[in-house]
Amino acid sequence: MTPPPPDTPPHGLLIANLLAQIAFGLLAMTICLPSMQEWGAIFGAGQASVQLTLSGYLVAYGALQLLFGPLSDRHGRKRILMAGLALAGVGSLLAALAPDLPALIAARTLQGAGSAAGMVVGRAMVQDLFRGPERTRVMAWVGMTLGFCPPVATVIGGQLHVRLGWQSNFLLIAALAAVLLVAAWRGLPAHETKVAPDTHWLHDMGIAYARLAREPAFLLHVCILALTTAAFYVFLGGAPIVLGSYGVGPADIGWYIMCVPFAYVAGNFLTSRLIRRLGERRMMAMGQLTTVAGIGLLLALAGLKTPLAFALPLMLLGIGHGFLMPSTLAGTVGAVPALAGAAAAVAGLMQQLMGALGGYSVGLVSHDDTVNLGLLLLAFTLGAMAAQFLLHRR
């Protein structure tokens, strides 16, 4: 796969195709969230059982990235992406037809397994097709797309649930999978593989991951990515509790929480405009400094105990992450270009694992206290800064 010349602007349709492929898994994950509160009554099951529809999706989504990444390095990006989309489409159709909760859980797990291909293969294709600042610009657009996806998907999912029933969400995802499969077939370039065809794919996978484990630049980029993701999940896990302690009700909490994802989108947009002028290293430094400034302001205003004094400083955290993440993702998949698929797979899995750790860590402290939440955010951020210092000292 030949990247476009550095002075040639990226093809708009190609980038839109890549963004849609990458966002598909997150859209499929979140569009049915409004329906989950009704599934217990519909299927006569407890909420803990209903939660398995999401857990099954997440486990399959994370695990299959580790498989799809190296396979795309070996067999080509399009082939693996199209296989994943077909699998996700079948899972979505089975979910729409599910007669009971166990069948729905199984279908959601199948859907998550197939949806993993878009995220890992799409990120790898960004590395294949773009270089330098252009690669980071596209990663910034990826960040903007993923930032908008959950709120838009939940709104669409809620409206479809009310008007057409919960099954309509899965039918829409199945149709979208079919459209994206055609878009991948017709609109994405082929990927030239360099793996010997007579070697076993499991052997190639082991070699790929062993090679990445010996690459310091890759490991440090992944550390920055994972620790920054953990900090974001500290916010997601702790913000509703802190805001609730300030008297904010369930109907209003979402408005305050959404400030940070929209700030993240704004940070990604600014990155797409500034990356050519400032470069990846400066954007990453700006990201960390902006994040620390936001956390510092949060701690300084903690005594006010008001929703705005909590939410507004965290918007700086969102902007800082928007500065930091595109360059970090670009560096992760670009550390060993021949193994971009495997690198994207490890990055995706580590984001999920560290996100889970970040959310869990909120429960280990007095989580209705702004100071404790701010210190947790600071701890993960300082870890990311240490990894960034080591990376840029090399």
- Provide mean pLDDT across the span 368-376: 90
Cβ–Cβ under 8 Å, residues 272 and 137 = yes
Q: Which two tokens stand for residue 267?
A: 């940070």
Average pLDDT over residues 125-137: 89
Question: Lowest mean pLDDT: which of 63-72, 259-268, 306-315?
Answer: 63-72
Any idea which of 2-11, 146-155, 220-229 has the lowest mean pLDDT? 2-11
Whether residue 393 is predicted with pLDDT greater than 50 in this model: the reply is yes
Instruction: For residue 210, count other CB atoms closer than 10 A to its CB.
Output: 9
3-state secondary structure of 389: helix
Domains of the chain: 12-193 (1.20.1250.20), 210-393 (1.20.1250.20)
The pLDDT of residue 195 is 54
Q: What is d(CA 175, CA 25) in angstroms, rounded to the nearest whole number?
A: 14
Task: Provide the pLDDT confidence category of residue 367 given band limits of 50, 70 and 90.
Answer: low
The whole-number pLDDT of residue 73 equals 84
- The whole-number pLDDT of residue 151 equals 80
Q: Where does the pLDDT of residue 6 fall: very low under 50, low under 70, confident under 90, or very high at 90 and above?
A: very low
Buried b (16+ CB within 10 A) or exposed e, 163-184: eeebbbbbbbbbebbeebbebb
Of 195, 205, 177, nearest to 21 by C-alpha is 177
- Provide the pLDDT for residue 8: 42
pLDDT digits (tens, 9 = 90+) for 76-130: 889 999 999 999 999 999 999 999 999 999 999 999 999 999 999 998 999 889 8
Least confident range from 17-21, 26-30, 101-105, 170-174: namely: 26-30
Per-residue model confidence as pLDDT tens digits over 255-309 = 888 889 899 999 999 999 999 999 999 999 999 999 999 999 999 999 999 999 9
| Residue 204: pLDDT over 60 | yes
The CA–CA distances, whole Å, from 219 to 98, 158, 189, 384, 392 equal 42, 40, 29, 12, 13
User: For residues 56 and 108, what is the distance between their CA atoms, to the nearest angstrom?
Assistant: 7
Residue 201 clears pLDDT 80, i.e. is over it = no
Q: How many CA atoms lie within 13 A of 100 on its CB side?
A: 3
